Amino acid sequence: MAVAPGLEEALAEEAREKGFEDARAVPGGVEAQGGWHEVWRANLEMRGAARILVRIGAFRAFHLAQLDKRARKFDWAQVLRADVPVRVEVTCRKSKIYHAGAAQQRIERAIAEELGAPVTKAAALVVKVRIEDDLVMLSLDSSGEALHKRGHKPAVGKAPMRENLAALFLRQAGYRGEEPVLDPMCGSGTFPIEAAEIAAGLQPGRSRGFAFEEMAGFDADAFSALKRQGGPAPEARFYGYDRDQGAISNAGANAERAGVAAWTSFECRPVSALEPPEGSPGLVIANPPYGGRIGNRKLLFALYGSFGQVLRERFCGLAGCGCHLGCRTGQSDGDAV
């Protein structure tokens, strides 16, 4: 399971909670053992993963002729279909074979000539090959489109947060689907929508397709059996505010498509006018502009000043102080505050 650097441990924790018991963090992701059912289930259920890669084989090769011979002997028909186009991506590190382009050409030719599958640059199905210390490791990208694309959010602003990152930041902030969540600068609504989905027990991959559906051995009935309805309606509510009316309209439409509109509310309001909603204490989490992708850095000083003051004065979360919504910060990569 691949993930952005720094989030491996959080993803491993999610994987273990979801029944991938041997999941362990490695640089850039999480490793777990399992068969195709586990691969399908990981794609369907893992909120934090960017994509699910499946190791399909490994062999040693010290020169291109050996790579050619061993790639031809590999049982591609066990995992790929002759009628589905495929492309190959290769990286080489600390190996006698150092020319990734030449290695790619050998493996593409082996697949085309031994299996008969068309090899095209535009193919959605990707065979990822890593050659490291002369060991050739073959993997398939079972996800296809990155998993943050849940299939519910065509309407986004200039700098949307990826859903899988939002899920992991919520996790790191201690959110487990029970308390209300408020994002004062919600843009397209990623945090409140993701939080509402978690609370409602919805599978993140319920509305989208995956690359593994085009692979050999895919069993549509067995995959359907892994899909389940969400749990009972959550008691908590999920709030998004933004000073931009266009962002608020997008967020509402996205929540509707995700099937969580009943538990989310979005309102056009600047941070300076933020008030804690009625109800039990919860989590404030945001991905404010930081002057990188959008916004003028100098203008951000006033925003951060006002944000801090509003949180301190109206959201301190101390018992008996009159606040309804507590504030905890979930900083993990400098992006979420």
Ligand X SMILES: C[S@@+](CC[C@H](N)C(=O)[O-])C[C@H]1O[C@@H](n2cnc3c(N)ncnc32)[C@H](O)[C@@H]1O
Task: Enumerate binding residues for ligand X (CB under 6 A).
Answer: 156-157, 159-161, 185-188, 190, 242-244, 247, 270-271, 287-289, 303
- Burial per residue of 238-269, b for 16 or more beta-carbon CB atoms within 10 angstroms, e otherwise: bbbbbebeebbebbbbbbebbbbbebbbbeee
- Which one, 53 or 255, has the nearer CB to ligand X? 255
Could you tell me the smallest distance in angstroms from the CB atom of residue 147 to ligand X?
Answer: 16
- In angstroms, give the least distance from the CB of 326 to ligand X: 20
Cβ of residue 244: shortest distance to ligand X, in angstroms?
4
Which amino acid appears at position 139 of this protein? S
Rounded least distance, CB 207 to ligand X, Å: 18
Which two structure tokens, joined as six digits, stand for 78? 């066990």
Instruction: State which residue, 25 or 161, has the beta carbon closest to ligand X.
Output: 161
Residue nearest to ligand X (CB): 187
- Phi, psi (degrees; rounded to nearest 5) at 268: -80, 115
Q: Give me the least distance between CB of 263 and ligand X, in Å please.
A: 18
CA 119 to chain centre: 28
DSSP state letters, 92-141: EESSS---HHHHHHHHHHHIIIII---B-TT-SEEEEEEEETTEEEEEEE
* Closer residue to ligand X, CB minimum distance, 243 or 324: 243
* Residue placing its CB nearer to ligand X in the complex, 172 or 188: 188
Q: How far is the CB of 307 from ligand X (least distance, A)?
A: 8
Query: Of 160 and 330, which has the nearer Cβ to ligand X?
Result: 160
Q: Measuring CA to CA, which residue among 234, 218, 128 is closest to residue 175? A: 234
Token output for 47: 């909120």
Measured CA distances, 242 to 63, 86, 180, 188, 269 (Å): 57, 43, 17, 9, 5
Using the minimum distance from each CB to ligand X, give the nearer residue, 128 or 153. Answer: 153
DSSP string, 202-251: --TTTT---GGGGSTT--HHHHHHH-----SPPSS-EEEEES-HHHHHHH
